[in-house]
Chain A
Amino acid sequence: MKKYKKDRYISGVITAIFAAAVILPVLTLFVWSFTQRWAWPYIIPGNFSLNAVIDVFEKLKKPGGILISGVVLSLITALLSVIIALMSAKALLFYNFPGRNALLFGSILPFIVPASVFSMGVQLLFINLGLNNTLHGVMIAHLIYSLPYALRLIMDAMSAIGEKYEEQARVLGACGIRAFVDITVPMLLPVSLTAFCMAYIISFSQYFLTLLIGGGRVITFTIIMVPYLTSGNRNFASAYSLVFLGISVIIFMLSKKAAAISNRQLKTQLY
């Protein structure tokens, strides 16, 4: 028993060190976002200012600007990822057809091949298809990269649930589509929300892919933030990071909440 307690103690300490290493850098964001100048060698910035944060919100308020291409673009990409992942997972898990394994292999490739390699290879094709420098072109490129994450999560859950509930509905007379939409989709709602978040994050984090396919015309968070970083405007870079990271965290928390609620409802329905 004593030994067990010691193990718990060590575990606590290691987890705490890890937590500090994660949180401390994020705290620097808060300080830098509200700083005008922070001269060497002071440990605390000299003058605080709201300039950087105000600038972010003004850009966000402008209609048709960064809010659309930065946030809405990623939200739509994430939604499409989940829908396509549900369809693909269903086909890949429960049907046997020629080419199934090849498609499964193809579907995980973007998980492993870096986006920079893909974007240089595909840019010419996107130009020929008229997709370069357009919002929907960037969305398609993001979709290619966010889909594998959504697919992996949904396939995991779908294979754990199996087909038996859906078969039950079929036995009771529901048609295939109805059984899928009414039975499987609600059961997969929690994991679909997680997949949605993951896909959103992947889309929102892309820099190189957005730069190349968007041609600098499609302004997302990374496209606006990187020039501030390379030109040494750490306060502006921090303010943009803080606000956009905040939006991601809110989306993450909301869907976690929704997942918990739908989980609870599902349980009461089943019993």
Chain B
Amino acid sequence: MKNKIIPYLLLIPQFILSGLFIAGLINAIMISLGIMPSLGLNKLTFDYYIKAFLRKDLFDSLTFSFYTALVSALISTVLGVFICYFMINTKRGISWIVELPIITPHVVTALFIISIFSQNGFIARLLFMFNLIKDQQEFPVIVYNSGGIGIILGYIWKEVPFVIYFTASIMSNINEKLGDAAANLGAGAGRIFFEITLPLCKNTIISAFLIIFVFSLGAYELPFLLGATKPKALPVQAYEQYLHPDLRNRPYAMALNGIIIAAAMLSAVFYYFVLKSDIDKKLKNKNLNTCII
């Protein structure tokens, strides 16, 4: 009897926090479906979601954010896995170089991108010194670029180290055991990477990709600080609709957020299964060990 209560007692704070979190999401979804009792709106409708695709400003935000998130997440994942593979080879393991961008807040990353890539930034000054440009205006607009190049650069700087951090332990594990065995049997570095390391790390790599993809789809800081005035990124647009003096705009904000929630939920389900199989495997191994002992 006592044993049955213990897990629930241990989980009380988790219940409260998860409950608050879920309540926040449910509230957002309710409003996006047109239910706002305080404004007398009580009828369930998908209108706001449909409008998100039909209203040009909202649709532009959607495509812009999916584009920047996809490009930055793809580049970060590929670069991260690639660099991770080589870093492990140097036998120094993961150093503070990987940790530094992880502990750097996004707002500071934005400052870096501005200091380096803006029209009076470091690179523009270097090009001027070497007479490659004659004026600041000749330097391409990278930071507040309407194609989101500044945002993508910022995310790459933040997320490549995250991918390395996320995949390093499983990758070095595989390399040590199976990679060395394959090398002994005569496989080259390229073959080991593509035929052993990559397939075995697949789930972890996909998890890393999904996490950073959804994060950059919905994070406010970088697009707010590095984005052009038009098109606005999804979270920036959502916040603008949210702050609109006419409260009837709020469902539009929540419909945009609802789309982010949908993408997040799909990713969360995948990540959950990867995490769970990982935990189950570890616990099972432990139990086997205890049996043997």
Contact = CB atoms under 8 A, between A and B. Distances in A.
Co-assembled chains A and B? yes
Interface of A: 7-8, 10-12, 14-15, 18-19, 21-26, 28-29, 32, 40-43, 84, 87-88, 90-93, 95, 97, 100-101, 103-122, 124-125, 140, 143-144, 147, 152, 155, 159-164, 176, 197, 201, 204-205, 207-208, 221-222, 225-226, 229-230, 234, 237-238, 241, 245, 248-249, 252
6 contacts: A15-B86, A18-B83, A28-B115, A41-B124, A108-B275, A176-B6
Interface stretch (B48-56, B195-203, B281-289): B281-289
B145 to A, nearest CB: 17
Contact of B268 (A112, A121, A226): A112
B4 A97 contact: yes
Interface in B28-87: 28-29, 31, 82-83, 86-87
B254 to A, nearest CB: 7
The 5 closest A-B pairs by CB, nearest first: A114-B218, A122-B24, A121-B28, A162-B286, A205-B105
B17 A117 contact: no
A87 B11 contact: yes
Nearest to A97: B7
A124 B250 CA distance: 12
Nearest to B236: A116
Contacts, number: 273
Given A95-B7, A155-B279, A230-B225, A22 B97 contact: yes
Nearest to B98: A22
Given A25-B157, A117-B260, A7 B116 contact: no
B220 A41 contact: no
A106 B272 CA distance: 10
Given A93-B283, A124-B27, A164-B286, A10 B86 contact: yes
B1 interface: no
A96 B267 CA distance: 25
